[in-house]
Amino acid sequence: MLKTNDKLVTVRVPATSANCGPGFDCLGMACTLYDTFTFELIPEGYELEIEGEGEGRMHPSPNNLAFLAFLKLWEQVKHTETGLKVHMKNDIPLSRGLGSSSAAIVGGLMAANYLSGKTMKPQELLNMATAIEGHPDNVAPAILGGFTISFMENGTAQALRIVPARRYNLIAVIPDMPLSTAKARGAIPAVIPHKDAVFSASRAALLVGALMSGKSRLLPIAMEDKLHQPYRGPLIPGSFQAFAAAKKAGAYSAVISGSGSTLLAVAHLQADGNKIGLAMQEALKKEGMDSTVKLLKLDLRGAKIL
Ligand code: HSE
């Protein structure tokens, strides 16, 4: 039962795809795949019900990200502790590079903000969410929706939200294999050649320009990257072949979503998303990797109190 009163609130938060190729730790987009969280204040203790992803695998605890985020904001605003019951309906797969952690964090913060009197502005929520998540590129689009360019300045997270001039098909190919962000970050060298930095900076700038101007023909080049994918690709057997298969089947480009293991293809709205997804799946399968395809679009709304 979804309802909102002074003790209970329901928040829907979109999945997010970070990096978008060259925009490591700064570019991100919200996708039409959602987790829905209902938070209820109870006198004491912690309770958790889950439907969908994570069912039977997560336990009520102040360390669970949804609880942690809620309690952090609640205690900061109300200067008091509370018990908490959370119901999650999770469609975002866990540890697959589609922002399930950010969704839990943003859900917790939005709910606590709502129930504690709505004193925090989106900018403050962005900062708190980034402090918990560690980088802003998933939490920004989860809060704001659309495509976001986020950055840190003097320890503060900020984001510019844009709405691309055109709509695209986003084809998410989700391997059965989870990949932890810590492992995927560990694969990236601390220092990269200057020419690779120039390569990626030029593509990241071009990507924002291509999206804003609607010059989709630039996307195949604009989504190239040398900051993280060359190092992470080998952690997802078949990923490079799947990128090539996506293009051959009609996508503009395909990239690792966030830190993986999901691969995300971007295609024209009229392109055959099923064909692209299948081609990518087959490429992964040849390397022994089973996967699921989800056909998505850009979410423009961001996190929403229902
Ligand atoms: N930018 C982050 C990364 C996103 O690629 O590691 C995943 O949390």
Q: Hey, how many other C-beta atoms are within 10 angstroms of the C-beta on 164?
A: 18
- Ligand 1 atom 3: residue of nearest CA: 259
**Cβ atoms of residues 8 and 38 within 8 Å:** yes
The number of the ligand 1 atom at minimal distance from the alpha carbon of 24 is 1
Among 50, 66, 58, smallest CA distance to 13 is for 66
The domains located in the chain, with CATH, are 8-163+300-305 (3.30.230.10), 168-296 (3.30.70.890)
> Above pLDDT 70, what percent of the chain?
98
- How far is residue 38 from each of residues 170, 197, 276, measured CA to CA in Å? 28, 43, 35
Ligand 1, closest atom to CA 256? 5
- Angular region, 230: left φ>0, alpha ψ -120 to 50, beta rest: alpha
Q: Ligand 1 centroid vs 40 CA: distance in angstroms?
A: 31
Closest by CA position to 69, among listed 110, 36, 122: 110
Q: Is the CB of 169 under 6 A from ligand 1?
A: no
pTM of the model: 0.95
pLDDT at 1 over 50: no
d(CA 88, CA 106): 13
Element spanning 96, H or E:
none
Core vs surface per residue 272-287: b (16+ CB within 10 A) or e: bbeebbbbbbebbeee
Ligand 1 atom 6, closest CA:
259
Query: Is the beta carbon of 19 within 6 A of some atom in ligand 1?
Result: yes
Averaged confidence pLDDT in the chain: 96
Pocket test for ligand 1, best of 20, 24, 98, 236 (most atoms within 8 A of CB): 24
Residue 4 pLDDT grade (very low, low, confident, very high; cuts 50, 70, 90)? low
Instruction: Give residue 15's pLDDT.
Output: 98
Q: Residue 2 above 60 pLDDT?
A: no
Nearest ligand 1 atom to the CA of 133 is: 8
Which residue's CA lies nearest to atom 5 of ligand 1? 259
Q: What does the alpha-carbon distance between residue 118 and residue 283 come to, in Å, rounded to a whole number?
A: 48
Does any ligand 1 atom lie closer than 6 A to the CB of residue 95? no
**Substitution site in 20, 29, 92, 137 for ligand 1 pocket (most atoms within 8 Å of beta carbon):** 137
